[in-house]
A and B are shown apart, each in its own frame.
Chain A
Amino acid sequence: MLKIYSFLILAALIGLVSFSGLDQAKAVETVKIGVMAPTTGPWATEGQDMVKVVDILVEQINAKGGINGVLIDLEVGDDGGTPKTAALAAQRLVTAGVVAVVGTYGSAVTEASQDIYDEAGVVQIATGSTSIRLTEKGLERFFRTCPRDDEQGLVLANKVKALGFVKPAIVHDNTSYAKGLADETREILKSLKIADVYFDAITPGERDFAVALSKIRAQNPDVIIFTGYYPEAAMLLRQKRDLNWNVPIIGGDATNNRTLVELAGVSAAAGYYFVSPPGPSDMKSQAALDLFKVYQERHQGLPNSVWAVLAGDAFNVIVKAIGTAGVNPEGIAMYLHSGLGKYEGLSGPISFNEKGDRVGELYRLYRVDPKGQFVLQD
């Protein structure tokens, strides 16, 4: 019994120490900004890149003396890629006293944190959550620097039509994102009088999709639309090549990751189409080039995907808004809604509509060339 009590006391002490350690007041005036990202779990690679990008930006701003002399104190909250952990991370960031939060990646994960930030009056800018309904709830302080699935579905369907395909097969992976995009694309294709010949899911995390491919082949489509993520897209490309079948595949923005070509191999990836906001290698703004220079030195190579850069954009607009409106969530939100004008972000001009969605056509069509480079088509 004594052991148990001493253990409990020890545990309580650890708790107190770790909580109070974070509460210590700093001598310099600071403003707390949060990053919520999946730095562990299945999307760890995206989350870690997000944090890397924002870290560099914080350093650069603080080196210049901060925002009007106020230094930025960055709080990182790991959401682990799951809703439950995200809710905890969000509460933790809120009570750490952040005024605004960058993140996060997955739509369902963002959703679990939305109410918490909203009730606490914190500004949240999601960076990879494209699910439509996130901005349909009328939350005043929720924004996103990534586009929405309906926009992507529209672009994807239109490109399929423009490329002259008439018998598409649609494959998704049963995640919230991929299923949503697949449904959206299917509907729009129907309205364009293009009916799909196949619609089914594969299991993410698996390696062997030969069965799915051979089943699709039996339907004889002229294009495969895959709405899932890059690891599975790479496997599909590779195994399609192994089947000696040269039907084109067109994918969504979750396949805009340079690792795709490595995983599929250049010869299998060549000819792959996808629609996406411009990737890191196509961002030519001065701010982006400056950022990538530091990033390259520090982490050998560019960020793997566009989402990490969109986290940088979210961070930058928060800084801009704080610089103008002060440390006050209401003011920041107001400014982001109406005062931003055409802010020159890393990924191009940024402004938000009244729902908090990013305004403007972001999507472009890419194709992988025979050397394995992502080439902008239009």
Chain B
Amino acid sequence: MIFPRPRLFGAFQVAGVVLFLALPFIFSGLNFRRSPYVLHLLTTVGLYALLSLSLNVILGFAGMFHMGHAAFFAVGAYITANLNLTYGWSILSTLPVAAGGAGLFALVVATPVIHLRGDYLLIVTIGLVEIVKIALVNDVFGLTGGPNGLIRVGRPEIFGYRITTPRDFFYLIWVAVAISALLFNWLENSRFGRALKYIKEDAVAAEGMGINVTAHKLMAFVIGAAWAGMGGTFFASWMRTISPESFTFGESVVMFTIVILGGSGHQKGVILGAFLVMGLPELFRDFQDKRLLAYGAALVAMMIFRPQGLWPPKPTQYKLPAPFDQKYPKKGEPC
């Protein structure tokens, strides 16, 4: 086999994941008073990790400059809230609709602009998130509740168990993160994912190799958007109140920052990025009104010290079939 399956789990990772998932119990065992706050914070980190992983498909894998991801997040959240509040759907049953709605929306808005290059796509996606926000504020189709938003969204239920406490949501979100990471890992190494990476490196060459660049880019956009829509479902049922303030350009910037800071195209890096971008402003709370000052400086400093991101992807290495399986001569060595 030419393409070996990527190694998913090493001993360190397994230990780390188990330790992480056991945190709530460790906290309660230690009688750690701040645990609801820490769990809430970790859940926030998880939600943004989920959203950033979905953005990573667009920005990291396919290399499209997309700074409007909050628009799809919003579509998912409002679909869930409407289905739940008006038609009484259970939260988790709205997941596919939220994903489908956000994906469809992405397809419609991205089709005319997908050919724009780099920075032009960036401003278009910024425009998109602004338009969506203005539409939400103006109560478009009477579905968004205007500037007040929608309140009293229900809680998710799994097999009759109602998810309410910070600990419940911690597990819900992080399980979703884990599933997404696994799926995206598979996606990354699939034929489709490899094609995306090729497009990122050199779209013209990819086209020359017979890859339909536009179709692949659109597909990446739709997948990323659909996932963000599901993020919206979780957000709506977690916060129970959604209003336009939660889906601004600033939120899109946060997701963008997470992906680039963590390591564009590398899922572990993106998750690490979510920890830092969501965590640092909280760590700096003791600085009071200077906390964002410190956060801004930290962002600049981290980018300068790790321009390729804190934990960039390793260059992919494929094992060649036996006869070709020999080391390339190093630079300077005689061939």
Contact = CB atoms under 8 A, between A and B. Distances in A.
- A–B contact at 8 Å CB threshold (below): yes
In this complex, the interface size class of chain B, counting residues with CB under 8 Å from chain A, is 35 or more
Interface stretch (B28-36, B100-108, B114-122): B28-36
Nearest to A5: B12
A150 to B, nearest CB: 14
B275 A83 contact: no
Contacts of B317: none
B86 interface: no
Interface in B80-116: none
A176 interface: yes
B282 interface: yes
B138 A83 contact: no
A77 B285 CA distance: 8
A82 interface: yes
A130 interface: no
Q: Is the interface of A mostly helix, strand, loop or mixed?
A: helix
Given A83-B245, A92-B285, A115-B240, A108 B148 contact: yes
Interface string B272-301: 100110010111011011011000000000
Interface of B: 33-38, 40-41, 44, 137-138, 146-149, 151, 164, 166, 239-241, 243, 245-246, 272, 275-276, 279, 281-283, 285-286, 288-289, 291-292, 310-311
Contact of B239 (A7, A39, A83, A175): A83
Contacts of A76: 288
A176 B148 contact: yes
Contacts of B282: 88, 92
A110 to B, nearest CB: 10
A14 B245 contact: no
Nearest to B238: A87
Contacts of A174: 137-138, 147
A157 interface: no
Contacts of A115: 240
17 contacts: A11-B279, A39-B288, A77-B285, A78-B288, A78-B289, A88-B40, A91-B36, A92-B37, A95-B33, A96-B34, A108-B243, A108-B245, A112-B239, A112-B241, A174-B137, A175-B147, A180-B147
B279 to A, nearest CB: 8
A4 B311 contact: yes
Contacts of B151: 111, 133
Interface in A62-80: 76-78
B243 A39 contact: no
A19 interface: yes
A8 B13 CA distance: 13
A318 to B, nearest CB: 21
Nearest to B137: A174
Given A11-B275, A88-B282, A40 B241 contact: no
Nearest to B278: A88
